[in-house]
């Protein structure tokens, strides 16, 4: 166990976050996401919801300040609707961890899947909320 590292961060996830460079993206997916179909680097975080992962990751992760929106979520499919509490929980988790929330955008399902295929890794969580997926784009870590 390391001091200052949230217990939701597994050794594999910590290593993955450290390996990522500026501009790399990581997907925090809900339990329904077809991660293994889309990506070869899949990290399991079963039983841990995405808000908890965001709380754990955000203090360790610099969000990309050189893009309009370093957070990307999936839009609802036509005829479906979003549960606004998902977005509220995720943004509150980030804000509680680092004091502010970077901008985010929504993209359609297939654009999200295409982006997930190019991500550095996909973390499959225990999140059960519909459209409970989010992509985080890593930025440059500032020097103290």
DSSP 113-134: HHHHHHSSEEEEE---STT--E
Binding site annotation covers 30?
yes
Closest to 129 in 3D by CA, of 61, 27, 32: 32
Closest to 120 in 3D by CA, of 11, 21, 9: 21
Residue 74 is predicted with a pLDDT of 97
Catalytic residues, which ones?
22
Q: Please give the chain's pLDDT, 144 residues, in tens.
A: 678 999 999 999 999 999 999 999 999 999 999 999 999 999 999 999 999 999 999 999 999 999 999 999 999 999 999 999 999 999 999 999 999 999 999 999 999 999 999 999 999 999 999 999 999 999 998 886
Closest to 125 in 3D by CA, of 16, 51, 39: 51
Taken in order 40, 43, 48, 52, the sign of the CA dihedral is negative
Binding site annotation covers 133?
yes
Residue 2 is predicted with a pLDDT of 79
Domains defined for the chain, CATH in brackets: 12-138 (3.40.1650.10)
Residue 10 is predicted with a pLDDT of 97
Binding site annotation covers 66?
no
Residue 104 is predicted with a pLDDT of 95
pTM equals: 0.96
Residue 35 is predicted with a pLDDT of 97
């Amino acid at each position: 166990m390391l001091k200052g590292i949230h217990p939701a961060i597994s050794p594999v996830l910590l290593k993955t976050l450290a390996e990522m460079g500026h501009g790399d993206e990581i997907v925090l997916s809900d339990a329904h996401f077809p991660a293994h179909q889309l990506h070869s680097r899949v990290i399991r975080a079963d039983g841990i919801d995405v808000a908890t992962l965001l709380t754990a990751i955000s203090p360790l992760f610099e969000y990309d300040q050189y893009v309009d929106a370093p957070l990307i979520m999936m839009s609802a499919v036509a005829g479906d609707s979003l549960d606004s509490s998902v977005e509220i929980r995720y943004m509150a988790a980030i804000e509680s961890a680092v004091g502010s929330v970077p901008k985010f955008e929504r993209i359609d399902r297939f654009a999200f899947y295409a982006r997930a295929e190019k991500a550095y890794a996909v973390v499959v969580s225990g999140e059960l909320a519909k459209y409970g997926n989010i992509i985080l784009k890593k930025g440059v870590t500032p020097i103290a």
